[in-house]
Structures are given as structure tokens and as C-alpha cells.
């Protein structure tokens, strides 16, 4: 049985490498399932192909801090997927002492439409706070422009709107970056000082790639990632 598992792992790693879907080393987990997920060390990775008209997508992980996605979504409008790493928190903002995250990614910059983004949820799914760290192609935030602000270690253009199910606050970085540290607590507290919500509970921190199109197959690689809250 051990030999069979090893043989299958090496075979799949070789196939993925030929297709450009994974790094040279064999991943410890992978999935092409629409809702494929894997939990380890307090994080859950999700393939999360949720939009209509999506193409094939494979998520892989060497660890929850080093993972990536190969996606081949057609050049059409509408978000196709949000492969991400998710961490549950469950702490009220008034009791939150710290919430920070660091990331380092390698992403395509042409022939694509996507954003590398945090998707942060408060009060369950009542409030959605998106932090766009980079964006390429024809993508844009939901809602209307509110203001520009420097908070959490970055300078953003802030948008607010509703998707019909929850309120969405989008912080779009004024210039693209592939690496950095974000003070999430500072961002959440800034929203509270604006009166846009009260003493909410930080429910979940997600980080990943909101992909609209990646025709021909593109690689999105999370070289390193961590998120913590207490």
C-alpha cells in the first residue's frame, strides 16, 4: 500500500508538472474538485470554484503556508473562483489584541483578470472586508468610492456597497504589491471609527486569489503566508 501511494503521488506530481499546475516537488495535497478542501494547523485550504462559466482549476499545497493554484478560466466576465487559505477567529473587536498577516506571492501579470485579496468576515457573514493587495486585468471593487486612507501598513482607496446578502468594504491598495504585512486589527478598527459597524466579531480571515479569467492556464503561487489573531 505504501508503494502504491508513493507511485500515485509521483505520477500525479509528474503530470501536474508537465501541465504547469504545480511546483517540481510533489505536493502533500491537491484537488481539482470544485469544493476541494484540506485542513491542517488551524488553516483550511479551499479550491472554491463558485462562479458560473468556470474552467478547470487545481489547488495544491506543500503546507498551509506554501500553496498555489493552476487555473484555466475563460476570458469572460464574472468571478470564477476564490481559492484561499482560511482561518477561523471568533473574537469581538473590543477584545481583539492583535490580528496580523504576512504574505508573499508569485502571480501572472498578463492575459489574466484577478486580484490577490484578503476576504475578512465579521459577525458571521454580515460584513465582508476585502483587502486587495494587487489586481490585474478588468476587475474592480463592489460599491462606490468613499475615501483614501493609510491604515494597517498600506494606502488604500476604500469602496462600500452591498451584494444583496451582506455589506462589503473593499480596500484597494493604491499600488500593487506581491509581499507584505497587514495589520488587520487596525483596518477593522478604522471601519468602526467611521460608524460603518459597531463592536463586531472577527469571524474569519481568508487569503487567496479572486480569479475572473486565466485563459490558457496560469499559475498563482503563495510562497509564504501566515495569519494570527488573539
- Report whether 44 contacts 31 (CB < 8 A): no
Q: What is the pLDDT of residue 24?
A: 42
Mean pLDDT calculated for residue range 186-208: 98
Residue 18's pLDDT band (cuts 50, 70, 90): very low
pLDDT at 50 exceeding the cut of 90 = yes
- Report whether 82 contacts 210 (CB < 8 A): yes
Q: What is the pLDDT of residue 25?
A: 53
User: pTM, whole model, 2 decimals?
Assistant: 0.90
Q: What is the pLDDT of residue 33?
A: 98
Q: What is the pLDDT of residue 14?
A: 43
Highest mean pLDDT out of 13-17, 20-24, 129-133? 129-133
Mean pLDDT calculated for residue range 144-165: 97
Q: What is the pLDDT of residue 26?
A: 64
pLDDT in tens, 81-132: 999 999 999 999 999 999 999 999 999 999 999 999 999 999 999 999 999 9
pLDDT at 17 exceeding the cut of 50 = no
Mean pLDDT calculated for residue range 221-230: 98
Higher pLDDT, 4 or 170: 170
Mean pLDDT calculated for residue range 23-40: 87
pLDDT at 53 exceeding the cut of 80 = yes
- Torsion angle of the four alpha carbons 87, 117, 45, 80, in this order, in degrees rounded to the nearest 10: 140
**Cα gap 65→227, rounded to integer Å:** 10
- Phi-psi group of 41: left, alpha or beta (phi > 0 → left; psi -120 to 50 → alpha; rest → beta): left
**Cα gap 167→196, rounded to integer Å:** 10
Q: What is the pLDDT of residue 40?
A: 97
- Report whether 135 contacts 170 (CB < 8 A): no
Q: What is the pLDDT of residue 7?
A: 39
pLDDT at 65 exceeding the cut of 70 = yes
Amino acid at each position: 500500500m505504501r508503494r502504491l501511494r508513493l507511485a500515485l503521488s509521483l505520477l500525479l506530481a509528474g503530470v501536474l508538472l508537465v501541465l504547469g499546475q504545480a511546483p517540481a516537488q510533489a505536493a502533500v495535497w491537491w484537488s481539482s474538485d470544485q469544493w476541494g478542501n484540506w485542513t491542517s494547523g488551524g488553516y483550511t485550504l479551499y479550491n472554491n470554484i463558485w462562479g458560473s462559466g468556470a474552467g478547470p482549476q487545481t489547488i495544491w499545497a506543500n503546507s498551509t503556508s506554501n500553496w498555489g493554484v493552476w487555473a484555466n478560466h475563460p476570458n469572460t466576465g464574472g468571478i470564477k473562483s476564490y481559492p484561499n487559505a482560511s482561518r477561523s477567529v471568533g473574537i469581538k473587536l473590543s477584545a481583539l489584541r492583535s490580528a496580523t498577516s504576512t504574505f508573499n506571492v508569485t502571480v501572472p501579470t498578463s492575459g489574466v483578470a484577478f486580484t490577490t485579496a484578503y476576504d475578512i468576515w465579521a459577525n458571521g457573514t454580515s460584513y465582508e472586508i476585502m483587502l486587495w493587495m494587487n489586481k490585474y486585468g478588468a476587475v474592480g471593487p463592489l460599491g462606490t468610492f468613499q475615501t483614501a486612507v493609510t491604515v494597517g501598513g498600506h494606502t488604500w482607496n476604500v469602496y462600500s456597497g452591498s451584494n444583496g446578502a451582506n455589506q462589503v468594504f473593499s480596500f484597494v491598495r493604491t499600488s500593487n504589491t506581491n509581499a507584505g504585512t497587514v495589520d488587520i486589527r487596525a483596518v477593522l478598527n478604522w471601519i468602526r471609527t467611521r460608524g460603518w459597524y459597531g463592536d463586531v466579531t472577527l469571524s474569519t480571515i481568508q487569503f487567496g486569489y479572486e480569479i475572473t479569467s486565466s485563459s490558457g492556464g496560469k499559475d498563482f503561487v503563495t510562497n509564504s503566508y501566515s495569519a494570527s489573531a488573539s
